[in-house]
Amino acid sequence: MPTLFRGSAVALATPFRDGKVDTAAIGRLVEMQLAGGTAAIVACGTTGEPTTMNADERELTVRTIVKAVNGRVPVIAGTGTNCTQNVIDTAKRYEDIGCAAQLVVTPYYNKTTQEGLYRHYMAIAEATALPIVIYNVPSRTTLDISPEVLDRLAESERFIGLKESSYNLPYVMEKIRRVGGRLAIFSGNDDMVVPLMALGAEGVISVAANLLPAMVSKMATSYLAGDHATALDLQLTLMPVINALFCEVSPIPCKAGLEMMGLCSGEVRLPLVPISDCNREKLREALISVNVAL
């Protein structure tokens, strides 16, 4: 099975300015990512705040990222939501604009049963053209896709990957055992990159890479190259930054960090609010600890 990417992908934050998508800032962020060795870019993933954007804003963001990337790495469009038909409608908008795949989160709030999960994903697979990366993030959705459902979904070539953000390692190991190379596995947690790569993951879809693309890329590529010591050293070095990036609801700290670095505004949309002063200082100290000039 060909892998969409290996190494570090970034779940790119969507910059806003004065209440609008800042397309000029998107171009700067994309260039920073590519210069840092990022292997793929996720547009309008959870970190990109798609739930507070309307359909036209989301499409503008995806189109702007695809244009800025200009074919240099794969662009994965976030299409997931808790309404199956909305996922299908969104994915169809992106089919002919240059995306390599779609990232589809498990439904949240209304959630569903495991059988409902299977039918949700199969309905999307049958009605859309973009290959599908499944996104499992129980801390956000309170729903954990089972090994049995993944096993069933992996029978279809429409599913090419799993972004796994569970901290239940035995359960994750059973998923990896079940899919057996039929799905590429990517860590969805910046603090679990090396542990999941030790279990066979191909890399990470990262929040921290928004600020430190070269370090996150080196961590993942070092592990893939067999230099496990360097990968582990970088994982541990990054921990203060990772902890600071999740001291408040993501992407609040991520956006604050990008603003500190002069890359874009830290503007977020309600119900998200700007980072608190104490956590801003915590993030600043963490970034300085890894030699980021602020």
Residue 19 has pLDDT above 60, yes or no: yes
Separation between Cα atoms, residue 184 and residue 287, nearest integer Å = 31
pTM over 0.75: yes
Mean pLDDT over 168-174 rounds to 97
pLDDT in tens, 62-81: 999 999 999 999 999 999 99
- Six-digit token string for 112: 């569903």
Q: How confident is the model at residue 47 (pLDDT cuts 50, 70, 90)?
A: very high
> In this predicted structure, what is the pLDDT of residue 180?
81
Set 94, 118, 121, 163: catalytic member: 163
Q: Is 163 tagged catalytic?
A: yes
Q: What is the mean pLDDT of residues 126-148?
A: 97
- Residue 135 falls in the annotated catalytic set: yes
**Pairwise CA distance, residues 194 & 220, whole Å:** 8
Question: Is 239 a residue whose pLDDT tops 70?
Answer: yes
Nearest to 135 by CA among 89, 50, 78: 78
Whole-number pLDDT of residue 3: 83
Which superfamily is assigned to 7-227 in CATH? Aldolase class I (3.20.20.70)
What pLDDT shows up at residue 2? 66
- 259: nearest Cα among 219, 211, 220: 211
Model confidence at 172, in pLDDT bands (50, 70, 90)?
A: very high
- 114-140 average pLDDT score: 98
For all residues of the chain together, what is the average pLDDT? 97
pLDDT digits (tens, 9 = 90+) for 195-237: 999 999 999 999 999 999 999 999 999 999 999 999 999 999 9
Asked if residue 1 has pLDDT above 90, the reply is: no
7 neighbors 223 (Cβ within 8 angstroms): no
Percent of the chain residues topping a pLDDT of 90 = 98
Mean pLDDT of 3-30: 97
Tokens of 63: 């189109």
Among the listed residues 118, 135, 218, 255, the single catalytic one is 135
Q: What is the CA radius of gyration of the chain?
A: 18
pLDDT per residue as tens digits for the range 86-125: 999 999 999 999 999 999 999 999 999 999 999 999 999 9
Alpha helices in 111-198 (DSSP H): 114-127, 138-141, 147-153, 169-179, 193-198
Domain boundaries, the chain: 7-227
* Cβ 283 vs Cβ 260: under 8 Å: yes
Percent of the chain with pLDDT over 70: 99
